Amino acid sequence: MIVLGIETTCDETAAAVVERGADGKGRILSNVVLSQIGEHAEFGGVVPEIAARAHVEALDRIIAKAMEEAKASFAALDGIAAAAGPGLIGGVIVGLTTAKAIALAHEKPLIAVNHLEAHALTARLTDATEFPYCLFLASGGHTQILAVRGVGDYLRLGGTVDDAIGEGFDKTAKLLGLGYPGGPLVEKEAAKGDAQRFALPRPMSGRRDADFSLSGLKTALRLEAEKIAPLSDQDVADLCASFQQAIVDVVRDRLRSGLRMFRLRIGAPKALVCAGGVAANQAIRKVLHRVAFEVGSELVAPPPALCTDNGAMIAWAGAERLALGLTDPLDVAPHARWPLAQVAKEGDKAAAQ
């Protein structure tokens, strides 16, 4: 089957066409992403109204380009998938409404995809990873450890009680005057710094659960910066290095707890999978490899372009759901919040009908 996927939950306008074979393996026919970083950089973060307007202006041509690169017609599609949340509601409405219009005009099934589920299933597109596997999802808006047992079947093992890791990187960059987006800029500065100079806390370390907390770490960083202000270039590099090392240590500790919970509740995971933009950080990816090795598992890390928001992951999640007969009516609602635990699976939908 061939599915068009549309992603507009934050500051990327994206569309892609993906093919799912009868054997369950995937192939990306096109994947077009337009970033809005330039529109939001001066504000130090994403402005929802600007993001929604940019989606309206760009989405039609992004879809047209994705269809052209895939050499596909709308008639050849088996389904239309769109991210229906969670995300900035203005942008979500733009993408979902466009998908509804295409589905109605061409009489194709509509699949309203949970953005987090799309991240969770990307490893099956890139590596044909078998269920069950443990997912570390880390982005600007989400930090979770999940057991992925099947399409629509997710067990939350841990998550952040306050800020997401990506948000922590962005706020650190803003505090230190580095710009936006913060993750790559903090990582670049950290490579020049001394990670041992500042004794920052490792929140939640040693606990038996797998939850995260970053608000105290951000506060500690701010206090250290205020102590030595005005900051030299080396001060900034050392603060970034110390912050990044604290994050790495927390990720290692929390993932060990999460994997221990996974084994107790489900058994041995087929893989440790990482997703989300934070997974592109090389220091974090290195520790993920180490943790996977410790538990005798492999790390599945999709290419960076498929870790950040993109249309291919939406199209693939749509194809996975469509293969199980899971489609949505044209009046399906967009969601600003949509926990994975509320995503319906095959049995849930059958019972509802």
Query: Looking at residue 185, which CATH number applies to its domain?
Result: 3.30.420.40
Does residue 339 share a domain with residue 257?
no
Q: Are residues 293 and 169 in the same domain?
A: yes
Is 154's pLDDT higher than 60?
yes
Q: Are residues 253 and 326 in the same domain?
A: no
**What confidence score (pLDDT) does residue 40 get?**
63
Give the distance, in angstroms, between the CA of residue 193 and the centroid of all CA atoms in the same chain: 28
Same domain? 177 vs 230:
yes
Same domain, residue pair 111 and 140: no
Looking at the structure, tell me whether residues 301 and 313 fall in a common domain: no
Q: What is the distance of C-alpha 37 from the center of its chain? A: 17
* pLDDT for 147: 96
User: Is the pTM higher than 0.95?
Assistant: no
253: helix, strand or coil:
helix
Note the pLDDT of residue 345. Answer: 63
Same domain membership, residue 214 and residue 237:
yes
Residues 349, 325: Cα–Cα separation, whole Å: 10
Same domain? For 136 and 172 the reply is yes
Residue 85 reports pLDDT greater than 50? yes
Q: Would you say how long the chain is, in residues?
A: 353
Give pLDDT, residue 160. Answer: 95
Please name which of 87, 114, 144, 170 lies closest in space to residue 274, comparing C-alpha atoms: 144
**Residue pointed to by tokens 């084994």:** 263
Asked whether residue 279 carries a pLDDT value surpassing 90, the answer given is no
The pLDDT assigned to 351 comes to: 41
3-state secondary structure of 105: helix
pLDDT at 60 over 80: yes
| pLDDT, position 353 | 43
Judged by DSSP in three states, 334 sits in: coil
Per residue in 14-59, pLDDT (tens digit) is 999 999 999 999 999 999 999 876 676 666 667 777 888 989 999 9
Q: Residue 158's closest CA among 145, 141, 142, 140?
A: 145
**Does 159 share its domain with 184?**
yes
Q: Are residue 64 and residue 180 in the same domain, yes or no?
A: no
Amino acid at 236: V
**pLDDT tens-digit map of 245-268:** 999 999 999 999 999 999 999 999
Mean pLDDT of 84-88: 94
Residues 322 and 267 grouped into a single domain: no
Q: Residue 197 belongs to what domain range?
A: 131-305
CA-nearest of 154, 155, 174 to 163 is 174
| Residue 44: per-residue pLDDT | 67
Q: Which of 125, 146, 144, 133 is nearest to 313 (CA)?
A: 125
- pLDDT digit string (tens) for 295-350? 999 999 999 889 889 999 999 999 999 999 999 999 999 999 998 888 866 445 54
Count of structural domains within the chain: 2
Strand order in the sheet with 133-138: 153-159, 143-150, 133-138, 272-275, 299-300
